[in-house]
Amino acid sequence: MDIKENTLEDSNIMLDLRDIHKSFFIGTPNEFEVLHGLNFVVNKGEFVSIVGQSGSGKSTLMNIIGALDRPTSGEYTLDGVDIEKAKDSELSALRNKKIGFVFQTYNLIARTTALKNVELPMMYAGMGRSERTERAKMLLEQVDMTPRMLHKPDELSGGQKQRVAIARAMANDPAIILADEPTGALDSATGRMIMDIFHKLHEEQGKTIVLITHSPELSQETQRIITLKDGDIIGESAGNWNPKAKEVE
Amino acid sequence: MLITENILVALAGLRANIMRSLLTMLGIIIGIASVIGIMTVGNSITVIVNTTMQELGANNLEVGVTQKSLDEETTSSGMSFGRGYIREMSDDDLISHDMLVSFREKYQDDIKYVLLTEAVGNPGTVTDGSKNANVQITGFNRDNIEFSNLEMLGGRSFLNTDYLEAKRVCMVSDKFVERMYKGDNDAALGQEIEVSVNGQFYKYYIVGIYKYVADQFSFGVSDNPTTNVYVPFKTARIDNHTQNKGYSRLTLVTSIETNNDSFANTVRDYFNINFYSRNDAYEVMVISMTSMMDSMNSMIGTIQLALSVIAGISLVVGGIGVMNIMLVSITERTKEIGTRKALGATNSSIRLQFITESVVICLIGGIIGIGLGVALGMVAVKLMGYQAAISVQSIVIAVGFSMAIGVFFGYYPANKAAKLNPIDALRYE
């Protein structure tokens, strides 16, 4: 694997997107452009939300940020790695080591235990069996899932599944956590609990988190809100996130 | 490491869909079972035929008087075809004692034994009160007794005078002694027995007791097997009233250095040129056991191969079944594949995962098939009354072959899974 690290060791930039365009071909010669040249930067340790209605292009953007897809044109650098130049196998390694995905529908592998699910990214990273089991247990403890770690996904509640998914996202200590509507399928109390875990990861471990959501209220909890509409960024604003205020509480 | 993980995932998948897994494996199971079963039966028959022939003597030449064919069309094994001049065989047509003596003298370097056998009637019985035993009176000449290498348990073998003077002596089996004298060899020796064959009675004195060896073709273990009562050849001939006749058939045991196939021709030519050139209807034919064994083995081999190929077709059908179910499984698990890719699985690790799964299905099917095939083959062989010979080679090949089927028929679906676009796969519902 040949992922070239940024020569600027002390760079504070985690995500750097410049003039990102994305088009889909829906039968030649029709071309449908979803993203019309986006520019934004996410700094290390930042908790950012990307908000938009459905059809705004936020899913497409998430795929590009998550290195699941490549932009049609534009430059995207993730933690110093130029996505455009990376081969498919390098993108796999990138997703494995630098990105922790949290999906709305949890996407746990059925038929295997919570523990095995958390071990999976470490297995793909080539970590030894005992080492990854140990780490998976530690991660599950962080999300209070130790008592149910040997249960299979269909024996877990939605909130429990999402906690396992967050533990899995943390498996290879990624540069960013990419959460796509993580509370979308949960009731408000459970959703609250999941958001608290994100806050904890952000504050205590300094994780960079990108939250993609359609909910303006949820986005208010983050440091910075990027609003997307019809494939353009129509605004950037600061959220109500205030760690000091939280501490007072 | 990834392999063991993949195997565990595959096994978990199989367990989750037991019925489907079994049905998928069924094709492989039936295919492998039939191939192994056929191989087991074929192998057993080959082993039996070979040992039987070896017992009869692979180095033996069977010499017999047969009808002449007018067109002189004779196959390599000496069997003649075509219409000959047909008349009953008379005493003049037989191989006389004098012919045999001069023949033996001429080829004494090549001939180790000349085996002469004279059975007295059909199997008969010896009865003494409530005790009885089934026997067959068999006259053996000295060469034959020496060649058959009987293991003596008591008494003695025949003496020179027994052969020459046609003494009324016999050797009986330990089985016979068991039934008639409660296994007491000393009590049996010197006793006179009376054998009843089709209402005729023949009397002999027991001089020796040999160890009975069951032959391959005897069905099961009988507690009253028909054992031979050996008598001197001449004695048997007198009992048959054939003492002045020639021989219609005899067996030659050649020395090791002799090439049987060419010696068979030499023997045939010797008799036919010297003694049968003026005979209008009969001549001598010679069959070499080696060539008979070879042609029989190749015949069994060909039948076995043909049947195996037919059985092999069901393996291909089974493989297609595996491929079909793998394609279904991949469609069902599209989202899982997308997730794995998002978590960092490379195309090759996805491919490996599904090939492993397909190989695991085929291998388990193969192993069940081998068990079933061996069992079926053994039952079939036992039903035929033979001893089963399991072909280890065919088991090794079957395991390898079922794995190869797994790889071959798993590759296309696995490759399809590996090439899935992660976004489409993740979005799949």
User: What confidence tens digit (pLDDT) does each residue in B60-74 have?
Assistant: 888 888 887 655 544
What is the dihedral sign for C-alpha B18, B21, B27, B30?
A: negative
Cβ pair B423:A126 closer than 8 A:
no
User: Minimal Cα distance from A63: which residue of B?
Assistant: B423
User: Minimal Cα distance from B336: which residue of A?
Assistant: A109
- Predicted pLDDT at A6: 47
Q: Please confirm whether the linkage preceding A182 is cis (ω < 30° from 0).
A: no
- Predicted pLDDT at A73: 92
User: What's the angle, vertex CA B245, arms to CA B123 and CA B252, rounded to 5?
Assistant: 75
User: Minimal Cα distance from B420: which residue of A?
Assistant: A68
What Å distances lie between residue A199 and A219, B174, B216, CA to CA?
12, 95, 84
Within B134-198, where are the H helices? 142-148, 160-164, 174-181, 185-188
Question: Which residues is A138 bridged to in the sheet?
Answer: none
Cβ pair B426:A111 closer than 8 A:
no
B129-183 pLDDT tens trace: 888 888 999 999 988 888 888 888 888 999 988 888 889 999 999 889 988 888 8
Distance CA B374, CA B46 (A): 16
A208 within some domain? yes
A168 within some domain? yes
Average pLDDT over residues B222-240: 87
Longest dimension (CA), chain B: 103
Burial label, B112 (beta-carbon count in 10 A; 0-12, 13-18, 19+)? middle
Give chain A positions within 8 Å (CB) of B14: none
- The mean pLDDT of chain B is 85
- Predicted pLDDT at A248: 41
More confident residue, A1 or B168: B168
Cβ pair A121:B344 closer than 8 A:
yes
Here the tokens at position B224 are 């009253």
Q: Cβ distance B330 to B413 under 8 Å? A: yes
Give chain B positions within 8 Å (CB) of A112: 9, 12
Cβ pair A101:B335 closer than 8 A:
no
A243 within some domain? yes
Calculate how close chain B gets to A111, using CA atoms only, in Å. Answer: 7
Q: Which amino acid is at A66?
A: G
Give chain B positions within 8 Å (CB) of A111: 9, 12-13, 16
| Local confidence band at A193 (pLDDT 50, 70, 90 cut-offs) | very high
Please tell me the least confidently modeled range out of A155-164, A185-194, B2-11, B329-338: B2-11
Calculate how close chain B gets to A218, using CA atoms only, in Å. Answer: 23
Q: Taking the C-alpha atoms of B169, B174, B175 and B181 in order, what is their torsion angle to the nearest 10 degrees? A: 80
Average pLDDT over residues B368-384: 89
A65 within some domain? yes
A12 within some domain? no
The SS3 assignment for B34 reads helix
More confident residue, A164 or B392: A164
Query: In the 8-state DSSP scheme, what is residue B85?
Result: -
Strands (E) located in chain A: 13-25, 31-43, 47-52, 73-78, 81-82, 99-102, 176-180, 208-213, 224-229, 232-238
Question: Which residues is A224 bridged to in the sheet?
Answer: A48, A238
- Predicted pLDDT at A2: 46
- Predicted pLDDT at A15: 93
A33 within some domain? no
Calculate how close chain B gets to A13, using CA atoms only, in Å. Answer: 23
What is the dihedral sign for C-alpha B53, B58, B64, B67?
A: positive
User: Minimal Cα distance from A168: which residue of B?
Assistant: B343
HSE-CB of B7 using CA atoms within 13 angstroms: 8
Q: Cβ distance B204 to B170 under 8 Å? A: yes
Please tell me the least confidently modeled range out of A37-51, B29-43, B75-89: B75-89
| Local confidence band at B290 (pLDDT 50, 70, 90 cut-offs) | confident
- Predicted pLDDT at A131: 95
Cβ pair B342:A168 closer than 8 A:
no
User: Minimal Cα distance from B346: which residue of A?
Assistant: A92
Q: Cβ distance A175 to A14 under 8 Å? A: yes
Give chain A positions within 8 Å (CB) of B16: 111
Cβ pair B1:A123 closer than 8 A:
yes
| Local confidence band at B33 (pLDDT 50, 70, 90 cut-offs) | very high
Picking from A110, A129, A172, the nearest residue to B1 by CB comes out as A129
Interface A-B, measured as beta-carbon pairs within 8 A, has a size of 67
Give chain A positions within 8 Å (CB) of B341: 68, 92, 95
Q: Does B182 touch chain A (CB under 8 A)?
A: no
Q: How many helices and strands (H and E) does chain A possess? A: 8, 10
A176-187 pLDDT tens trace: 999 999 998 899
Task: Give me the percent of chain A exceeding a pLDDT of 70.
Answer: 92
Calculate how close chain B gets to A238, using CA atoms only, in Å. Answer: 30
A228 within some domain? yes
Phi and psi (nearest 5°) for B138? -125, 120
Domain, as residue range, for A118: 45-71+86-248
The domain that holds A220 is classified in CATH as: 3.40.50.300
Distance CA B285, CA B287 (A): 7
Q: Cβ distance B26 to B366 under 8 Å? A: no
- Predicted pLDDT at B43: 84
Phi and psi (nearest 5°) for B336? -60, -40
Q: Nearest Cα to B169, choosing from B212, B119, B209, B207?
A: B207
- Predicted pLDDT at A72: 92
Distance CA B141, CA B164 (A): 10
Q: Kindly report the pTM of this predicted structure.
A: 0.69
Average pLDDT over residues B325-347: 93
Q: What is the DSSP string of B267-314?
A: HHHHHHHHTSTT-SSEEEEEEEHHHHHHHHHHHHHHHHHHHHHHHHHH
Average pLDDT over residues B48-70: 77
How many structural domains comprise chain A? 1
A233 within some domain? yes
- Predicted pLDDT at B140: 92
